[in-house]
Amino acid sequence: MTNATAPAISSVGVPKEVKTAEHRVAMTPDGVRELARGGVSVFVEDGAGVGASIMNADYEAAGATIVATAADAWSQEMVVKVKEPKAEEFQYLREDLTLFTYLHLAAYPAVADALLAAKTTSVAYETVQTADGGLPLLAPMSEVAGRLAPQMGAHFLERHKGGRGVLMGGVPGVSPAKVVVLGAGNVGWSSAVIAAGMEAEVTVLDKNLERLRYVDQIHKGRISTLASNQGSIERTVMEADLVIGAVLVAGGRAPVVVTEDLVKQMKPRAVIVDVAVDQGGCIATTRETTHEDPVYEMHGVVHYAVGNMPGAVPHTSTYALTNATLPYQYEVAVYGALGAARRNPAIEHGLNTVNGSHANAIVAASLGATAVDVIA
């Protein structure tokens, strides 16, 4: 991966995440080493990796420079993060900055407005898309969130946590919990696997019959599959102890598939875990919560809707994320965002804002705007 010529971007900043209870970090020491091989210097904010059990000394040993403040990290030519910039970070956005992180602009229009106003070039992990439609930088966090969802659901099904008092796997002579997973993508698939491993009664719904066939073939009937339509959603959700929302539209706002009226008809003290909340949520009654205050009750149903679920396991999540993001970070640093986009169509999809304009048509449409062709 050594770059024979000077990179387009000579310095990368890694600030500490400021979102509530977000302990992931956007680069590991191995990432520092790889970028150094390409002639790129990395500046890590003091303590940025501590929450993920990565110390300053680990970064320094890999060749990074530890800087004292967020402003120092943000002052570099390119900044890599995990989550979208918060309001207190908008001051760091500027025209000569490339920002590479999860953005989810359809759910956070204020972030879009700030990026456009500052004319910042932004690349979103969640819209980097390969020729086969894969989302390589969304997949690892989808898998983590999906595996966490049944764990969190099981926890809040406990009576002292507000739930129905149902054990996921039941016991001999007592039925297990009924778990309904809406969506059979990476989140839904991972959720179903873990819920089935906990010996719950699991049903997965999706419009994609090929995806359902895949689930059925792998799990040999241990996981039930249903074609998703309003009728099947209503019947299963009303009988569920735990509903996991796992519906994704790449770059866009998640469609609402469970109405408020349907939530009112659910079992008392059933639990909803809406993993799609960082894209607006697929349950009508969802509003984003935090790790410190993760649940609320509405219509007698417990809602868990933490917008950065993988932040609960930051060590695992950091390494899973950076395994996927590093090759793309390297490419953007070495060739620049527009140069990398011209070389790699997946990165072209990742471009969200450039010089005050939207660059991704799906994201722009979700915000009532129009994208322009920025690499022609």
Long-range (24+ apart) CB contacts under 8 A made by 30-37 are: 30/62, 30/322, 30/326, 31/322, 31/326, 31/329, 32/59, 32/62, 32/63, 32/64, 33/62, 33/63, 34/1, 34/326, 34/330, 35/329, 35/330, 35/333, 36/62, 36/63, 37/1, 37/2, 37/3
pLDDT score, position 231: 97
Q: Which of 278, 303, 349, 358 is catalytic?
A: 278
Q: Consecutive 10-residue runs of the chain (376 residues): their mean pLDDT? A: 72 96 95 96 98 97 98 98 97 98 93 98 96 91 95 98 97 98 94 96 96 88 94 98 91 90 98 93 96 96 95 94 96 96 96 96 94 88
Alpha helices in the chain (DSSP H): 29-37, 56-62, 70-74, 109-118, 139-157, 186-197, 209-219, 230-239, 260-264, 314-335, 337-343, 345-350, 361-366
Whole-model pTM?
0.84
Structure tokens at 115: 């990026």
pLDDT digits (tens, 9 = 90+) for 157-205: 999 999 999 999 999 999 999 999 999 999 999 999 999 999 999 999 9
Query: Is 291 annotated in the active site?
Result: no
Give me the pLDDT at residue 4, please: 52
Q: Is 278 a catalytic residue?
A: yes
Residue among 72, 131, 216 nearest 204 (CA): 216
- Whole-number pLDDT of residue 341: 97
Residues near 41 by Cβ (< 8 Å), separated by ≥ 6?
10, 11, 12, 35, 65
CB 63 within 8 A of CB 42: yes
β-bridge pairing 65-67 and 41-45: parallel
- Identify the helix (H) or strand (E) that includes residue 296: strand 295-298
Residue from 104, 303, 349, 358 carrying the catalytic annotation: 104
Collapsed DSSP state (helix, strand, coil) of residue 158: coil
Q: What DSSP element (H or E) covers 303? A: strand 301-304
Structure tokens at 344: 């790699």
Distance of CA 32 to the CA centre of its chain: 23
For residues 195 and 260, give the distance between their C-alpha atoms in angstroms, rounded to a whole number.
25
pLDDT, residue 248, reads 81
